[in-house]
Structure formats: structure tokens, C-alpha cells
Amino acid sequence: MREIKELSSNHAVSKMSIHNSKGLEAYYVIIPEVINSSPGIPSLIPSTRIEKAFSLSDDDYPHAEKRRLFYVVITRAKKRCFFLTEYDSPSTFINELLTDK
């Protein structure tokens, strides 16, 4: 984050969670840890029964709620969204974006 701030000294740089970005916009959005690991996006840590009980969705689709949050953060970018991932372990969400027709 420090390096990004130094490189963009003429621009405001903010760090926030996906949840906190709802309703906001930025010219550029950088999403770190979009990897198939824990921590990562989506998190591979199983949801607790409490989280499942308060989930907004009854979807059986894998990572449905986490997928919606991922797309929320992507749509915050006015110009471009950057994903920080690993070549040999990209997130399933990255793979979906690359293969989606």
C-alpha cells in the first residue's frame, strides 16, 4: 500500500474492505489476494452455521454470497479494476471471468 501511495502521490489512495466500498466509486480499484487459497477471494474458510443462518441467499451455487460481493467491488471502478493474483493459483472467480463468454 505504501508503494502505491508513493507512486500515486498526486491522487488520493484509500484502503477499505469490500463491504465498505459499497456505494462508492473510484477511477481505479485494486483487489489483492484474488487467489485460490486462504486468505483469498473467495475465502476457503468454511462459513459457520451462524453466517449461513444470516446469509441473504438460499443459493446452492458455490460461494454465491462471496461472488456477489466480488462483483460489487469490481463495479466500483470507473476506469479499470486490477486483480492481484498468482499465476499458478488464481481464484475461481478469476477463472470464471477469463472463461465467461
Q: Cα-Cα-Cα-Cα dihedral of 15, 99, 57, 71, to 10°?
A: 30
Contact 12, 24 (CB under 8 A): no
Contact 85, 96 (CB under 8 A): no
pLDDT of residue 77: 87
pTM score of the predicted model: 0.68
Could you read off the pLDDT of 19-77 as tens digits, one per residue?
787 788 888 888 888 887 777 776 666 666 665 655 555 566 667 778 888 888 888 88
**DSSP per-residue string spanning 12-23:** ------HHHHTT
**52 to 42, 43, 60, 77: CA distances (angstroms):** 15, 14, 11, 29
